[in-house]
Structure 1
């Protein structure tokens, strides 16, 4: 019995690690996992990165707001202990013209306005949105311990995001190069909080460069949106939905922004990426 318990714990640990790696290493994985979607594994198990995801009904009732599967009526507030993003505070549901959305309190971090301070280091705590302290002066800064991560050096108390992870970490004296819950937490984009109505309307998340980061906005359908049929090289049967349009993998959708490409890559959401070179 003890051997069986050890085996089960090992499997659970491996699954947890796989989800973490998937969010940091696979396009759109972090986006879908935050929404509670389930990955559809590749048939040949050639990669941890899925070809598609299966999502629950994110809006069973269009007159309600939803967060992590729970419904919120007009003027209802999400309990703060349930919100996974420390920068989202006092989020209340509002339904206007049939469009549900959450309104949250504005958070203004002092470091945003004092980013040019010389000889100072802003320090953070793991669950803080803004900096919680400041270390100034050459001698005081020299006494801070450092963390070498992905070719960069961070001072004790500074935040960083290790490559190929979906984590935000804080440099501490205990940093040993591994992503540990003692000084790292999952990055939560607040998708349902900030883009409630966009998700309801089957709009497409917009990414600037990496499709593993948080989206910078959403592209919604217009009267001129058209599907450009492409090659489904993966022979995937999964479909993307963009408004009322349905697409297969490899298809693109026309948008007014010439420096943005929107296509069906990892269903069911269309993915839009801004072209920096343009």
Structure 2
């Protein structure tokens, strides 16, 4: 039985890369090194629960991809798959967390740029690496048609139903698996939210749970569990601070526009509405 479960997890885990852009929380769990658990039935292609490693075996150290980092030690830059996360070092003074250097992109503040100019990027760059100006120069650039939108050579885009970040290139053939044009999106969860994950806080998403979380919701003194129905008959449970929830349960939070529930264990997840009237 154990051999069958292991083979399932191995095969299914290799397929998660294709499901990260289609299944809620799949990309989130993949980045944390979690593995999809076998499902009770095959009514859906998306995993219903995950098995995660011990992300914090030592509360006095920071951890990134299973590797421990002592106070003030830095993550080698070549191990960070996020160009906007630079010079990240461990700090345990107020609980384990990573502090990274701030990256300020010139184009974010340059409001005087001519309207007939576009910024261009490289796949592994956080900020723009060039500028193309003039109608003729821009018109001569190669284009990429993606999801009904047209992108000029050097412009970034994120294809729908994928967890990819791509750059339009002259050689792009329409494949999102081309490593010269596309890379997997890395949210930097353990880097930017080390302390929140350590405290069993819940990731907060907008719209759906396929993209990167915008924040984490932690339990408060007023947080209460509202028991629901486990319609999926999933045995795994979620943790929220010191609380334990079953699939279908919700937990109250102070943010009125945010709904938090145990949907895919072992983490409670939250969705924030754009408007409380929705």
TM > 0.5: yes
47, 51, 54: which one pairs with 1:50? 47
Alignment of 1:234-253 (within 5 A): 234-253=232-251
Between the aligned partners of 1:13 and 1:201, the Cα distance in structure 2 is: 31
Number of aligned residue pairs: 265
Q: Is the 8 A contact 2:12 2:36 kept in 1?
A: no
Between the aligned partners of 1:33 and 1:127, the Cα distance in structure 2 is: 21
1:199 aligns with 197
Between the aligned partners of 1:258 and 1:207, the Cα distance in structure 2 is: 14
Shift in Å, 1:42: 2.2
Root-mean-square deviation (Å): 1.6
4, 20, 23: which one pairs with 2:20? 23
Give deviations 1:150-201, integer Å, cap 9, x for gaps: 0100000000001111100000122222212221000000000000000000
- Secondary structure in structure 2 of the residue aligned to 1:20: helix
Shift in Å, 1:268: 0.6
Between the aligned partners of 2:111 and 2:61, the Cα distance in structure 1 is: 40
- Secondary structure in structure 1 of the residue aligned to 2:92: strand
Give the TM-score normalised by structure 2.
0.92
Alignment of 1:136-151 (within 5 A): 136-151=133-148
Between the aligned partners of 1:170 and 1:190, the Cα distance in structure 2 is: 20
- Secondary structure in structure 1 of the residue aligned to 2:17: helix
Alignment of 1:6-21 (within 5 A): 16=14, 18-21=15-18
Shift in Å, 1:116: 6.3
2:3 aligns with none
Matched, 1:104 2:100: yes
Shift in Å, 1:47: 2.9
Give deviations 1:69-109, integer Å, cap 9, x for gaps: 00001100001111111111110000123x11100010001
Runs of 4+ in 1 over 3 A off after TM superposition: 12-16
